[in-house]
């Protein structure tokens, strides 16, 4: 085992998959110089410009080229600096990559990974701080991963690269500098397998991406008050490990979903509605959602902190639910 940074785990996973399969290549703005936040550091020197391709600032063109490469036998990894910029390429993502397998009767797969980041907690204002994962889960054919630890980001990225479907791989800017333990030997994490980050018996907190460490801090604070909270990280939204969430609720009988995007139409809405369909009889109280108000993310640090969920607001909501 070794301790590495979240961003280093991304670079390691990419290098290992490029070494394992010569069809894997990476493309994006600045990848020849190490990529966004140095997540492609050292790849150019190791694999050369044929497999580490710098691109213009044209997300629709870049993703379109990657889709074409994927359907002709390559396995591209596209790096898009911020998730907000994926909006420039939504025709290629939602109308092309997501639908090729279905429209060709299963004859043409799209083994494509689109790596991008959500910028909450960095004061990047309304156009660079959105959490767009709920938008992607609306498109059948796309898989969505949101790892919260170095261990998860490395294992999930390797699985995403090997998957024959397009995967939207969403990293959190707030987590790039965090550290964690990963095995020295190779490993993968299956897409669609949730992870219980902390065992508990009084309430299940389903936390997404950067909200996982906030939920863990809240659970520590609540423990001093005699409240035993379970923190579950779904790790992927599509496929969603609904059976894993239901098993946790069968133990705790309560559910709180925490996310860093707007509450309306968010991840929490999908998870809560699915739980109500599958596990209503196990709930002792109405499930709750904690999210950003229906407003753009402000640029001022104090205002951004005000609208984002944090450990204090999570703990406060848990107390309310247990009253």
Q: How far is CA 256 from the centre of its chain?
A: 18
- The pair of structure tokens assigned to 310 is 């944090």
User: Hey, how many other C-beta atoms are within 10 angstroms of the C-beta on 56?
Assistant: 8
Running DSSP on this structure, what letter comes out for residue 128? S
What is the C-alpha to C-alpha distance for residues 170 and 173, in angstroms, rounded to an integer?
10
- Choose the catalytic residue: 115, 124, 128, 198: 128
What is the C-alpha to C-alpha distance for residues 17 and 162, in angstroms, rounded to an integer?
8
Verify whether residue 138 is a known catalytic residue. no
Contact 151, 182 (CB under 8 A): yes
CA distances to 6, 41, 180, 203 from 3, rounded to whole Å, are 10, 18, 5, 31
Q: CA angle, 23 as apex, 146 and 50 as ends, to 5°?
A: 100
**297-307: string of b/e by CB count within 10 Å (b at 16+)?**
bbeeeeebeeb
Contacts of 101 (CB under 8 A, 6+ apart): 108, 109, 110, 141, 165
Q: Are strands 167-172 and 143-145 parallel, antiparallel or unpaired?
A: parallel
* Residues tagged active-site: 128
């Amino acid at each position: 085992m070794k301790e590495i940074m979240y961003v280093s785990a991304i670079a390691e996973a990419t290098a290992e998959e490029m070494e394992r399969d010569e069809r894997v290549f990476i493309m994006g703005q600045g990848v020849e110089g190490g990529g966004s936040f140095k997540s492609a550091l050292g790849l150019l020197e190791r694999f050369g410009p044929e497999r580490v391709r710098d691109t213009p600032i044209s997300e629709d063109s870049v993703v379109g080229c990657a889709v074409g490469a994927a359907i002709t036998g390559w396995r591209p990894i596209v790096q898009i600096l911020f998730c907000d910029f994926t909006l420039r390429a939504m025709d290629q993502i939602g109308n092309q990559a997501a639908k090729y397998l279905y429209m060709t009767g299963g004859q043409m797969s799209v083994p494509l990974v689109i790596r991008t980041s959500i910028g909450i907690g960095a004061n990047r204002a309304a156009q660079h701080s959105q959490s767009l994962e709920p938008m992607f889960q609306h498109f059948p054919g796309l898989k969505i991963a949101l790892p919260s630890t170095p261990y998860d980001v490395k294992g999930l990225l390797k699985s995403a690269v090997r998957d024959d479907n397009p995967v939207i791989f969403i990293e959190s800017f707030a987590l790039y500098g965090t550290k964690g333990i990963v095995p020295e030997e190779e490993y993968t994490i299956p897409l669609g397998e949730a992870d219980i980050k902390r065992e508990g018996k009084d309430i299940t907190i389903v936390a997404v991406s950067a909200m996982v460490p906030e939920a863990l801090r809240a659970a520590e604070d609540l423990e001093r008050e005699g409240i035993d909270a379970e923190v579950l990280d779904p790790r992927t939204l599509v496929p969603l490990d609904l059976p894993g969430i239901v098993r946790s609720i069968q133990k705790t009988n309560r559910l709180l979903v925490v996310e860093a995007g707007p509450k309306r139409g968010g991840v929490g809405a999908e998870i809560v509605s699915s739980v109500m369909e599958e596990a209503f009889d196990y709930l002792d109280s109405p499930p709750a959602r904690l999210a950003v108000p229906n407003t753009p993310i402000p640029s001022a640090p104090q205002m951004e902190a005000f609208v984002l969920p944090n450990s204090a607001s999570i703990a406060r909501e848990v107390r309310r639910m247990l009253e």
